Copies of this chain bind each other. A is one copy, B any other.
Amino acid sequence: MGKFRFNYRSELLNRYVDVSVVYPTDGYRLPPSDRPVNRTHNGPAASDAFEWRPGMRFQTVYLIHGGGDDDTLPFRYTNVERYAEENRVMLVAPDIANSFGLDTSYGKRYSTYITQELPVLIRSLFPSSPAREDNFLVGYAMGGNAVLGNALLHPENYAVCVDLSGGIGWTPRTEMLKQEIDSDHFQHFPVFVNSFGPSSELEGSDHDLAAVIRRGQAAGVEFPKLYMVCGSREFIRERVEGDVKALRELGVEVEYELAEGYDHNFDMWDVYLRKTLSEYLPLKREIL
């Protein structure tokens, strides 16, 4: 693969930020040229390879890390870079800094960053296809809720959304979230409370997923195809399955998979990121 960590000053976040990116470059070769090129001894056969050419574009997965992690962790603790190579897809992993993927109440606007600034930037500076059918949103743990909320809030951006083990943050159960915000447990977790803001202001806001869904339905939008996965041993299983049920009751289709025997850790996410790329997402695995 090709890999890099892009560092630039974000307009919306008003500071320099990091974005980890990988390209599926291993199968590419130089085009034949007039000047003879002594190719290396063990590259792929010409017939199996793509050729570099200006204007080429990749399908793109936006990959959102879990709580406490940053953009580098998915690549260090899973083999997702290899799985992207196997499926010829580009990965874009921003850093969301324990924000739950929200436009936080204390002023850092990660939702707008992920869904508006980042796609414009990525399509302008890197070879990412802009078509909705080529763009996907995938997250694990805290990043699972972040992708669930942002996919429903900006359904026009993404063909498919995959929420792996998302058990903290955005939920379609508004009353439960209000209770969480006011609970003793979360009052000792100030970045949670200060990201969502006061429970009294939740209803109808973009942090209230039930309201977001109803607004989308009223406007006739097509939501991205939605996958949710939880390990059978995860401590958040009840929360995830309650969210699946609530989404369905709200009329949102969800493919739910219980990952038998798995717990809330990177052994699970390594296996399910591979499955996400090889099975859940409708990847083309060819040059665009």
Contact = CB atoms under 8 A, between A and B. Distances in A.
Interface in A37-89: 37-43, 52-56, 67-70, 72-73, 75-79, 81-82
Interface string A178-220: 0000000000111101100000000000000000000000000
A40 B11 contact: yes
Interface stretch (A122-130, A143-151, A225-233, A249-257): A122-130
A221 interface: no
Given A1-B8, A107-B189, 4 more contacts: A15-B70, A76-B81, A104-B106, A106-B194
A29 interface: yes
Contact of A16 (B17, B29, B73): B73
A126 B124 contact: no
Contacts of A97: 15, 97
A29 B104 CA distance: 22
Looking at A9, A17, A33, the one whose CB has the most chain B CB atoms below 10 A away is A9
Interface stretch (A109-117, A132-140, A159-167, A277-285): A109-117
A52 to B, nearest CB: 4
A56 B112 CA distance: 23
Interface of A: 1-9, 11-12, 14-18, 21, 23, 25-26, 28-31, 33, 35, 37-43, 52-56, 67-70, 72-73, 75-79, 81-82, 97-98, 104, 106-109, 112, 116-117, 120-121, 123-127, 130, 188-191, 193-194, 266, 270
A104 B104 CA distance: 14
A30 B117 contact: yes
Given A6-B4, A12-B37, A23-B8, A82 B266 contact: yes
* 3 residue pairs, one from A and one from B, having the closest CB atoms: A107-B190, A2-B8, A106-B106
Contacts of A125: 2, 23, 25, 52, 126-127
14 contacts: A1-B76, A3-B6, A4-B5, A11-B28, A12-B30, A12-B39, A14-B42, A15-B67, A15-B68, A16-B69, A37-B112, A76-B79, A106-B190, A107-B189
A31 B120 contact: yes
